[in-house]
Chain A
Amino acid sequence: MSTDTLNLTGLRAAPSQVCGAFRLVPLLRETPCLDVRMTPERYQQAYSQVKLDDGTEYWAFIPHGYILDWAKGNEATVSMGGQLKRATQGKSPPEWFTIQTHHRMVKRQNANRVRLLPLHLSMEAFLGLHFGGPDIAWPEYSKYAKRYGLGFRSETAVSGRGLYRFEEALRTFEIHEGQVGVLIYTAEKLASVFVVPTPQDYRLLHQTLLDDFYGELIYRYAVWLNHQELPVKLDVKNARSLSDLRSALQEARTLWAEFSTQGMGLDLLGRSIQREVIYKPAQLRLERFMTDLDLSTTNTIGERLVRSNGEVLYLKTFQLGADQTKRAWWLSQLAKHHWHIDTTAQALNLTRDEVVRGMQRAGFGYLLNPELLKRATRKR
């Protein structure tokens, strides 16, 4: 793990489009990307099982994966449609409950290609955070925690199809020429970022945003709120000629784009992140990250593919809910103090019972010694 900040190097925004609670800001690439491609791969099963290297299993509904192709250093381009694909097999009607098994989140397919499961890659890291449980057998923990660590962790998220008017927002969105990504705002709060290497990839993947999963907050905002009217003022007061008007228009366009990335995206863009490199294809880095767990604001997990010069080729984020953040925060606090409850309480300026109650509220009661739990939650 190392730290970095979340940024949009190599990308610039264009004026946004709105629908319901959603504001979608198109992202364009400054220099076209010729050597990396990303294409979708559909899965049709009801449930997926991913076998990870350390013997743990990740279970989720995974509707699609991405195939990442890249050119080796000396080859200039990866051409559109140049990849060989296995012929699609005749579709048999899916059984009522089917399971597909994947091996690893990021699986090498051949020398220049990996398959990755979008967002599940980061979600797996989030769920696996301090998964081993206490590293010292403190008496405060239950037998279960000592034997199995966290044992079984689960989080819920909302499918894009469940977000009110999100489908309509994506359908009526007019994709820009050369667009490679999108910032999704719900009720003017940056909810998710999605970037792919080339415009052709984006056109293919635009609709798949509907199949991805989103944080619960986005669901609530989409139902209850609407987008704000944010009028753009053209600076035309002193315009004398048509060329003045033209430059005013250009200026408004740039200002608007800057505002939508820098002004409105502060919750996410520029935040410092903890990142972990997953794969190093050629001169690129595929990594997953999590923002510093700040309880006063929303936190995000995600994954990205960056060049050595920092240009973002692929980026996908998931906004954590407050309860999810809290869980991760408790685990990291405990881990920081070697899972010793008294030290943790001291560091947080809390009492031992408060820590125990906090952990129980977060859903980690099963990790604690039942006696201890009983004492802490006893009526005072």
Chain B
Amino acid sequence: MDIAREDLSLFLNACAAATAQREFYSSEEEQRVSLTFLHEYICGNYRTLYARTLAAGINHHNQAEVIFQLLSTGKACPPDFRATENQLITAALRQLPSQRAWKLLQRLQRSRVNNRRTRKVIEGFIQSRNDLPFDAVKYRHKVKASMQHAHMKSTGEVSRFLFEGLKKPFETPLLEQYRTAHYSKEALYDLPYSIAEGFAAKHGVSRKDFLKRIEGKLTERERLRVQNSSEGKIQLNPEKLSLTELCSYVLGLSLQERRSRGEELMSFLTRATRATLRRAGRLPLPEHKVAAILDNSYSSSGSSMKQNRPLAVAMSADFLLGASCSQYRAFWTHPVGNPLLNHPKGQTYLAERLLDALEWGAQTVLVVSDACENDVPDAFEQTYQAYRRMGGKASIIHLSPVFDAETYQVKPLLKDLPALGIRAGEDLATTLAFARFSARETTLLELETYLQSRVDALIGQLERQP
């Protein structure tokens, strides 16, 4: 059964990092094919465990992929597990961010996955939405596709809005706003930002005026996105933002701007760090010297699809560890004076940093790197083995933000220590909690128990909701 444990922990790690987007070392196609294979393999061989991974803290992209796989291979589900699987799918679908959930439903339609269970799941999801008119306006085509796909009876105004067009007035205010926005400039400011943007262009409203008046309607991520086009005039609330996304934003600014807005950016980052720690609780790290080896080599610049993402993950981990550990020190592969001025450059240079960290006296060393070591290749492994032979006790944890398409896993730095996948610094606590299941010593049973506890928590949440 050891193979099962290994497969599963490999899969969970991959699903924490992979997003089927282009990476520095592999193309989008390679990533997608590799990840899809992994899903099909695990779904085919360990279906019950596969369904449970929905609760295990894998990223949203993979949650959607798991739901899709489960729904499209419904026949393979053992009868006694069917009820749990349904509960899991329902709960996970409701927890997904709305854009991802709607996209998944549309994908089900396009891939012609249409069985009684799928229809029921879609219907249940649509009925559980708090503000369906809002969804109908913002995700019009997707909602329409899902309703059609689930054979839902067309009743009510939302159906009329989706299927009959905009000729007659609506009673629901938002739908009516959407109708009038076609003719009136004033009406567009009550619509969601992304929809209003199109109408603003249609009516020729200047960007400046538009942003000024729509400000109240912006979500936090939209606020971050329009920071540059509004020249920083839109207010940000860093507490509500993802720390990694904020780091990505900082890394996207020019060095000069980072220098001139240094204090402001730093306060954003520290506030976001504090908020993240408040939400996720303390990091499960012992009270001793903790060092982090953080990779800011050129490969941490990611790809055009995820610009600077690996570096942003390392940077957010740096902030979280700094705020959470009493004795902490960061060792960047290319040392940086001011954390704000970090940028991806140079070769991957990990072994020397490991020695630096150990010399400082670190008892826990966290490595955040894509593990493509090239100065010198394999030196980290050899240094680590020699250190162990010398009787060194420090524990080493390797976190990697990159899924390696070629080997179907998150590439490990050390042969006997699997790497932990991580997509965002905020997941650090969950990832570290999962760390012990990745290690070779644990059994499948322990892993199953862990998964079951997460499943119970997720389903419990579903039951608490109406």
Contact = CB atoms under 8 A, between A and B. Distances in A.
Interface of A: 14-17, 26, 172, 174-177, 231-234, 236, 239-242, 245-246, 248-249, 252-253, 256
25 contacts: A14-B347, A15-B376, A16-B374, A17-B347, A172-B24, A174-B298, A174-B347, A174-B348, A174-B374, A175-B298, A175-B345, A176-B346, A176-B375, A231-B378, A232-B379, A239-B386, A242-B355, A242-B358, A245-B386, A248-B386, A249-B351, A249-B355, A249-B383, A252-B376, A256-B376
A249 B352 contact: yes
Contact of A175 (B346, B358, B383, B387): B346
Given A234-B382, A242-B359, A253-B375, 4 more contacts: A16-B374, A175-B345, A240-B390, A245-B386
B106 interface: no
Contacts of B379: 232, 234, 249, 252
* 5 nearest A-B pairs in the assembled complex, by CB-CB distance: A236-B386, A174-B298, A234-B382, A174-B347, A15-B376
A15 B374 contact: yes
A172 B383 contact: no
A42 B459 CA distance: 62
A204 to B, nearest CB: 15
Contacts of A249: 351-352, 355, 376, 379, 383
B327 to A, nearest CB: 19
A333 B382 CA distance: 54
Contacts of A15: 347, 374-377
Contacts of B351: 249
B431 interface: no
A236 B347 contact: no
Contacts of B348: 174
A181 B298 CA distance: 17
A276 to B, nearest CB: 37
Interface string B333-367: 01000000000011110011001001100000000
Contacts of B19: none
B299 A174 contact: yes
Contact of B383 (A14, A176, A240, A245): A245
A93 B408 CA distance: 45
A234 B347 contact: no
A239 B386 CA distance: 7
A236 B376 contact: no
Nearest to A229: B377
B174 to A, nearest CB: 47
Interface of B: 24-25, 297-299, 334, 345-348, 351-352, 355, 358-359, 374-379, 382-383, 385-387, 390
B382 A246 contact: no
A14 B374 CA distance: 10
Contacts of B345: 175, 177
Contacts of A17: 347, 374
A184 B376 CA distance: 18
A239 B376 CA distance: 18
B299 A172 contact: yes
Contact of A174 (B346, B352, B359): B346
Nearest to A16: B374
Contacts of A174: 297-299, 346-348, 374
A240 to B, nearest CB: 7
Contact of A176 (B347, B352, B385): B347
A17 B359 CA distance: 28
Contact of A232 (B24, B334, B358, B378): B378
Contacts of B374: 15-17, 174
A372 to B, nearest CB: 58
Contact of B25 (A172, A236, A241, A242): A172
B346 A177 contact: yes
A16 to B, nearest CB: 8
Nearest to B377: A232
Contacts of B334: 177
Contacts of B386: 234, 236, 239, 245, 248
Contacts of A240: 390
Q: Which of B299, B346, B377, B387 counts the most A-chain CB atoms under 10 A from its CB?
A: B377
A376 to B, nearest CB: 55
Contacts of B297: 174
Contacts of A236: 382-383, 385-386
Contacts of B25: 172
Contacts of A241: 390
A245 B298 CA distance: 26
A29 to B, nearest CB: 16
B355 A246 contact: yes
A341 B358 CA distance: 74
A26 B346 CA distance: 11
A253 B379 CA distance: 10
A40 to B, nearest CB: 21
Contacts of B298: 174-175
A176 B352 CA distance: 15
A26 B383 CA distance: 23
A234 B383 contact: yes
Contacts of B383: 234, 236, 245, 249
Contacts of B358: 242
A242 B299 CA distance: 28
Given A17-B347, A172-B25, A172-B299, A246 B376 contact: no
